[in-house]
Amino acid sequence: MTEETLNKIKSRGYWRINFRPLVIGQKLELPQCKNVVERNAVNFRGWDYPHFPQRRGDDTDLVAGNEYYEGWIDWGAHKEIWRMYQSGQFIHYKAVEEDWFKEDGWYGGTQFQKIEPGTILAILNTVYLITEIFEFLSRIAKTGLFYKEGVMLDIGLIRTAKRQLVMMDPMRGHLFDKYVARIDAIPFSHQYSSDEIIQNAREEALKAIVHIFQRFGWDNPPVETFKNDQEKLVRRQL
């Protein structure tokens, strides 16, 4: 089922997130692989990052591999697969949720269900997601898993060509211009020491957010506004 879900994720827009320790010390015991994810997953807005399965079924499961634990879900717009390896490497494939609103019964009768796959990237959802990724990374760094040398972070947003940035919050104004990606993949990579990512997770997340939005042609996105959005997110004031 996981291969089928991965193929479904890759059939439309998706995120690929990868943490790679710069120094591999003592390997995690296999059960620790799932425990690291469960204990450090971020839940600021009702859906955890990464999603840690709470049940077993045809649409979600938690599975032990030879050197990793794997969690996955294929439920409505939520489609994701992650693996945490004994080496400390973490890899996560996550569908761009906006591409699955049309087929998600949760959004029935709303404006979201009218969105065609591959057409938009929601600005706030992206700000929240990147902030959650960095918070999760920071929490893992606090466990000592990456040692002081730190970690290499790769974030890829795939199938972006012709996708437009959209502000979907009805309480916020529309953008003054159209920002549309002309490239089909947007990579972001950076190396962090453990101290850097623990002390500056939100600031570093902002740099990644700006990096992504600039690839849509948005040269000067409002960083101060995004800082306020981050603050509301972590305080659960959405």
* Alpha-carbon span 37 to 49, nearest angstrom: 9
Sign of torsion over alpha carbons 43, 65, 86, 3? negative
- Count of alpha carbons within 13 angstroms of residue 53, beta-carbon side: 23
pLDDT attached to residue 223: 96
pLDDT attached to residue 116: 93
pLDDT digit string, tens, across residues 161-201: 999 999 987 777 678 899 999 999 999 999 999 999 999 99
Q: Where are the beta strands (DSSP E) in 65-122?
A: 68-75, 78-85, 90-95, 120-122
Q: In the chain, which ranges are continuous DSSP H helix?
A: 2-10, 30-40, 123-142, 194-199, 201-214, 223-234
In one-letter notation, the amino acid at residue 132 is: E
* Alpha-carbon span 28 to 22, nearest angstrom: 15
pLDDT attached to residue 1: 63
pLDDT under 70: residue ranges of the chain: 1, 107-109, 173
At how many degrees (to 10) do helices 123-142 and 223-234 cross? 60
Q: What is the pTM of this model?
A: 0.95
In one-letter notation, the amino acid at residue 31 is: P
pLDDT attached to residue 109: 58
Residue 4: φ, ψ to 5°: -65, -40
pLDDT digit string, tens, across residues 48-74: 999 999 999 999 999 999 999 999 999
pLDDT attached to residue 100: 94
Note if the bond before 50 is cis, omega within 30 degrees: yes
pLDDT attached to residue 172: 78
List residues bridging with 156 in a β-sheet: 16, 187
8 A C-beta contact, residue 209 and residue 127: yes
> What is the token pair recorded at 218?
């948005």
End-to-end CA distance of the chain: 34
